Amino acid sequence: MTRVILDCDPGHDDAIALLFALGSPAELKLLGVTTVSGNQTLEKTTANAIRVLDHLGCDDIPVVAGAGRPLVREQHVAAEVHGDTGLDGPELPPPARQADREHAIDWIASRGPVTLVATGPLTNVAVLLARHPDVEIERIVLMGGAIGEGNVTPAAEFNIWVDPEAAARVFESGIDLTMVGLDVTHKALMTPAHADRLASAGRAGKLVADLYAFYSRFHRERYGWDGAPIHDACAVAHLIDPTLIETVHCGVKVDTGGELSRGRTNADRFGRCAWVPNCHVAVDIDSERFLSLLIERIGALG
């Protein structure tokens, strides 16, 4: 069993990733959830993490707030994708509790050996490594980046683009790192048929179906897809069943330059630049098995 902390910015796909982790106790021991500004402000992402846990009665899982803005850039949120609350669609009540008072950075550092699943901008992780250089991080599996085209600019994926300086620090850290980017998440679309199956599968499944109903609209309008990528759940899936995702070990450098290239994850997949490999980069996914497992595990939460 892998001891994990989910560092996230809920966000529809973060919420689904959280449910996926909760539904996989044989493989993952979820120690807690830390939050960061990204899909919405820190106040809203923190509230959303608690609201999702409240929905399943999981008030024993700590939620700890972290960074409220990128290291050096202006704050940017994705309200056009996730709505004003960051979790528009379902009718979830306000959070029934407050986040823990400790800062996420110090809370993570006190957990002992742990795997971080980072599904938002990497601000918390970068500050953690700077403030606690001896922190016991066994590995980091992140959702972010792309070898090919981005989703916020042609060059960059959202999580890396929001705080490229933080991402650069993490990729240069020497920690065992896996990048699950758009190259695979865009191959694994949840469809209306998947959502219909979940809608009748208890409270957790109904929540995912309601999330999907709102979240899929953006992807239908932007890309013309009859479905939506559940990006962040792919990172969780890699820990639950590593055979679901194929990776290559290569050098990756994050571009922190001007707007045209900001946030691009330059992956030397074929060794053309002879960069020292620093990341396991996801290049393919068994989408059918992934989605089947996702539906099975969330459906079993009841």
Residues 156, 264: Cα–Cα separation, whole Å: 5
Residues 206, 202: Cα–Cα separation, whole Å: 6
pLDDT at position 302 over 90: no
Active-site residue flag, 231: yes
Nearest to 172 by CA among 265, 261, 90, 109: 265
Query: What is the per-residue burial (b if ≥16 Cβ within 10 Å, else e) of 3-25?
Result: ebbbbbbbbbbbbbbbbbbbbbe
In sequence order, the β-bridge partners of residue 282 are 247
- Chain centroid to CA 111: 20
pLDDT at position 164 over 90: yes
Instruction: Provide the pLDDT for residue 186.
Output: 97
Instruction: Provide the pLDDT for residue 2.
Output: 96
* Mode of pairing for the β-strands spanning 137-143 and 114-118: parallel
For residue 97, the domain's CATH number is 3.90.245.10
pLDDT at position 200 over 90: no
Instruction: Provide the pLDDT for residue 117.
Output: 98
Number of domains making up the chain: 1
Nearest to 148 by CA among 265, 234, 252, 259: 265
Nearest to 73 by CA among 266, 263, 267: 263
Band of the pLDDT at 259, cuts 50, 70, 90?
confident
Residues 90, 94: Cα–Cα separation, whole Å: 12
The predicted model scores a pTM of 0.96
Band of the pLDDT at 270, cuts 50, 70, 90?
very high
Tell me 100's DSSP state.
B
Band of the pLDDT at 79, cuts 50, 70, 90?
confident
Range list of β-strands (E), 191-264? 228-229, 245-254
In degrees and rounded to multiples of 5, residue 39 shows phi and psi of: -60, -30
Which range of residues forms the domain containing residue 7?
2-299
Average pLDDT across the chain, whole number: 96
Catalytic choice (12, 219, 231, 238): 231
Is the link from the previous residue into 11 a cis peptide, with omega within 30 of 0? yes
